[in-house]
Amino acid sequence: MKITLTENGNGPQVWDFDPDDVRARDAELIEAKLGVAWESFPLAVMQGSVRARRALLWHLRRQAHPKLRLDDVDFRPKDLKVELDVPEWRLWRGKIALMGDLSDELRDRALAWVDQELAQAEAGEDPAAAAAPGKADSAPPASVTSS
């Protein structure tokens, strides 16, 4: 995932985030702060969950500032952009299909959303730009991370 934060008119801060590269201790901290399983965290980030995105930003900033507290992290949701490339969308499609904590209905909705995003990524479209006035918003299904 490519994470870009642009705030206060400053130049963008960009991070590459791979949930599989996170140390267990850091994953456990995020689980404890959010009350969700680590497996569901990246999906919540992709869905646009502000709590999950704040925890992600906290994790990323803690790499340079280890004493940073989650309560000290704040941002405008419009200032944080999360992007996935085609291989990442394909990987997440497979992971969602195997998630045991999702109902069949939620899994089907999540897979339909990922398929839409994947098709846009394969076509070279920016999913956010595709939601222009008059077009349907490509928002993910609600509560995909809850069972």
Cα 13 to Cα 10, 28, 74: the distances in Å are 9, 25, 14
Per-residue model confidence as pLDDT tens digits over 89-98: 999 899 888 8
Per-residue model confidence as pLDDT tens digits over 10-60: 889 999 999 999 999 999 999 999 998 998 898 889 889 999 999 999 999
Backbone φ and ψ for 50, nearest 5 degrees, come out as -65, -40
User: What separation, in Å, do the N-terminal and C-terminal C-alpha atoms of the chain show?
Assistant: 24
> What are the extents of the domains in the chain?
1-83, 84-147
Q: How many other C-beta atoms can be found within 10 angstroms of the C-beta atom of residue 137?
A: 10
